Amino acid sequence: MAKTLAAALQEEAVSILDIRDEISLSKGEHFGLVTPTYFWELPKPVREFLEKIEINQTEDHYSFVIATFGTTPGCTGEEARRLLAAKGLLLDAAYSIRMPDNWTVWFDLSDSAKVAKQNEKADRTIEKVLERIGKQEQGNHMFLRTPYFTKYFTDAAFSKARMTKNLHLEESCIGCGICAKNCPVSAIEIKDGKAVWVKEQCALCFGCLHHCPKFAIQYGNNATKRHGQYVHE
């Protein structure tokens, strides 16, 4: 999503993992944050990034956040607004784009035709969002958002869900290391030829589960096995 938007805006998409300590905005430069929604709020790595980053700015910046979501973008817009305000950057607008939800504990992504339709719809929404960014619209335009106070309820559920003991490995693991290499929080290592979780909690991005060539990683009660793997093309 970030790459698509950046290309359309003739900007560069940069992963938060590649930004060290600060962002410097020159006069008139836009600031856009594209984030998924996890448990109705910002993913922990995104939150931690916004808490640690310094933003050097001058003036005239149009700043926006875009959250992708499956059921609701939750309070991601308001959460980002508060975190950015603490850094001195006033958020102008918040948008959301519904996409296939890779939380396959609940969502069944095994029907590729249905998933393709969801992505086509998302592509149409991107066009509308780009139009609004072009007009530098103001306000929180997140569809189906929840009030900020819901975070006080979702925080606890999210923390529990992020326990890596909920993830488990099947015999089919071949120790290829793809999961370990791509885990954004280094929560997986390969030991004795098999994937092992080495942290108590992780970001819960489900990247390991969806990218595994053997579909050897499952979560919870194995509904994930029935619901298939999904990686955006």
Under the rule (CB under 6 A), what is the footprint of ligand SF4?
A: 169, 173-179, 183-185, 187-188, 190, 195, 202-208, 212-214, 216-217
Q: DSSP 3-state assignment of 22?
A: strand
Cβ–Cβ under 8 Å, residues 217 and 204: no
CB of residue 105 vs ligand SF4: minimum separation in angstroms?
11
233 CB contacts (<8 Å, ≥6 apart)?
119
Looking at the Cβ atoms of 42 and 208, the one nearer to ligand SF4 is 208
Cβ–Cβ under 8 Å, residues 45 and 14: no
CB of residue 160 vs ligand SF4: minimum separation in angstroms?
14
Looking at the Cβ atoms of 69 and 219, the one nearer to ligand SF4 is 219
CB of residue 57 vs ligand SF4: minimum separation in angstroms?
31
Nearest to 174 by CA among 217, 222, 224: 217
Q: DSSP 3-state assignment of 115?
A: helix
CB of residue 115 vs ligand SF4: minimum separation in angstroms?
20
Paired tokens of 155: 């925080």
CB of residue 31 vs ligand SF4: minimum separation in angstroms?
26
Looking at the Cβ atoms of 55 and 190, the one nearer to ligand SF4 is 190
Looking at the Cβ atoms of 133 and 203, the one nearer to ligand SF4 is 203
Half-sphere exposure (Cβ direction) of 217: Cα atoms closer than 13 Å? 28
Paired tokens of 96: 């959301």
Looking at the Cβ atoms of 132 and 184, the one nearer to ligand SF4 is 184
The helix or strand, by DSSP H or E, that contains position 79, with its residue range, turns out to be helix 76-85
